[in-house]
Structure 1
Amino acid sequence: MTHKFSRLLLVPAIMASAASAPAQQSNDLSQVVSHMQAVTTMNASFTQTDRNGQSLTGKLLLKRPGHVRFEYQKGVPLLIVADGKALTMVDYEVKQVQRWPIKNSPLTALLDPGKDLARFGKRVATSNPNVVSVEVRDPKRPEYGTMTMIFIKQAGAPGGLTLNGWVALDSKNNRTTVRLGNVKFNQPIAQSSFSWRDPRPRRKS
């Protein structure tokens, strides 16, 4: 059976009815920017849940700028890799490869530490003062979708934050949720971790 995968690797925010004060929003965004700039690599376990409530698990490797690898649980023949330029989905079951520019996905908010969150991001109110939620979207490119990143305040973590996960919503309102665990920052990750084997048959010359 082929596993379908949403292009937008998307932990729901705990919404509050009252809006936060502007000064607090600005401070939290600055803290998120500081965190993003302080993180060069990250590895974690993840649980990905689609709009139908079906979940997959796996391992995440991230190396900024522009590199990420989502390696799924045993028995799931999918691999998602970004090599600094393109985001590639490899389906080994049907021997299919799909590629698209990283900048066309909300994942660029994770992969580019220089992403202008002041321009593309806004803080979303939460009911927990230790949770910082930031929604990232390009109003000029609604087809790229929306990504809401969830951070937990944690002393000793880069910028005082740990990424807990995110929710991605594509232009058709398809939601994908990713929750992270065992997050570790700034440990060495080999560049070869972002290579992949092409399953497509070679053309005979």
Structure 2
Amino acid sequence: MTQNSSHRSTGARIARALAIPALALATLGVTAAPPLAAQGAPRSAELDRAVAALRSIDTMRADFVQTDRSGQRTTGVMTLKRPGKIRFQYQKGVPLLIVSDGRALTMVDYEVRQVQRWPISNSPLGALLDPKRDVARFGKLIPTGNPAVTSIEVRDSKHPEYGMITLIFVKDPSAPGGMALNSWVALDSQNKRTTIRLANQKYGMAVPDSTFAYNDPRRNASTRR
């Protein structure tokens, strides 16, 4: 495989991992599924605790490993700042960047000088970024068999074509709310699974808003990250 082909293949994996448009409504998109209570399922205290922990994060930085269905891995650093800001800085040699400035989620491909943008609310990352969304209303608790692990599956039952995303939390006294976001799994409508695993989570650091800016490669062909 040539270097360019490898980069383009990586871009496809990244798009699937964050499910940017395929899982748009699966994680609190524009047309939300009815509340669980309305579907006859009770709200779980464990579910509420996980959501409260997620909402307690002000800033966070973590290493991530992205794995696609074929087992190929890409690494990088994720930086999050509420409300609405996130940056996925991929490993050296991967000419892609995913960033949200609080209004829109942007994927920048420096190899082909392409920029794509989506509203935060239309992205599965809305579960992490949009403070107006309530994961507990649209998700359901998935039994894990481990009292230290909480798994929340989020999907729009009326639109199975949008796929689903599962957020996984691990009890951690050092994390906000006592639970750390450990990973998430995206499954698209063609059953293509991609996993993001986090490690070395750190909280509460100062993060300037300039972290969530990017150079637009369309303006200058020589632009680099």
Q: Could you say whether these structures have the same fold, taking a TM-score greater than 0.5 normalized by the shorter chain as the test?
A: yes
Structure 1 residues 1-205: aligned runs within 5 Å: 1=4, 2=7, 3=10, 4=12, 5-9=14-18, 26-201=44-219
Cα 1:140–1:191 change in 2 (3 A) is farther
The letter for the 2-side match of 1:9 is L
Whether the aligned pair in 2 keeps the contact of 1:35 and 1:161 (CA below 8 Å) is: yes
* 1:106–1:144 CA contact under 8 A, matched in 2: no
Letter in 2 for 1:87: L
Identity %: 58
Unaligned runs of 5+ in 2: 20-40, 221-225
CA RMSD of aligned residues (A): 2.1
TM-score, normalising length: structure 1: 0.85
CA contact (8 A) 1:41 1:188 kept: yes
Where does structure 1 lack aligned partners over 5 or more consecutive residues?
11-21
Q: For the Cα contact (< 8 Å) 2:51–2:135, is it kept in 1?
A: yes
**Corresponding residue SS for 1:82:** strand
Answer whether contact 2:17 2:68 (CA < 8 A) is retained.
no
Classify the secondary structure of the residue corresponding to 1:6. helix
Whole-Å separation in 2 of the counterparts to 1:110 and 1:126: 21
Amino acid of the structure 1 residue aligned with 2:89: E
Measure how far apart 1:80 and its partner are.
0.2
Letter in 1 for 2:87: R
Q: TM-score, normalised by structure 2?
A: 0.78
Query: Could you tell me whether the CA contact under 8 Å between 1:69 and 1:194 is conserved in 2?
Result: yes
Distance 1:139 1:65 in 2: 27
Question: Aligned pair in 2 of structure 1 residues 184, 141: CA closer, same or farther (>3 Å)?
Answer: farther
Following superposition, the deviation at residue 72 of structure 1 comes to 0.3
Question: Normalized per residue, which structure has more helix?
Answer: 2
What's the offset of the Cα at 1:140? Answer: 4.4
Larger deviation, residues 44-53 vs 29-38: 29-38
Name the SS of the counterpart of 2:116 in structure 1. strand
Q: CA deviation at 1:56?
A: 0.3
Q: CA deviation at 1:86?
A: 1.2
Rounded to whole Å, the distance in 2 between the matches of 1:144 and 1:85 is 22
Moved more, 148-157 or 1-10: 1-10
Structure 1, residues 170-193: CA drift from partner, whole Å, max 9, x if none?
233221100001001121111000
Q: Secondary structure at the match of 2:51?
A: helix
Which secondary structure does the structure 2 equivalent of 1:106 belong to? coil
| Cα offset, 1:68, TM superposition | 0.6
Counterpart CA distance in 1 for 2:142 and 2:127 is 16
Structure 1 residues 8 and 55: CA distance shift in structure 2, 3 A? closer
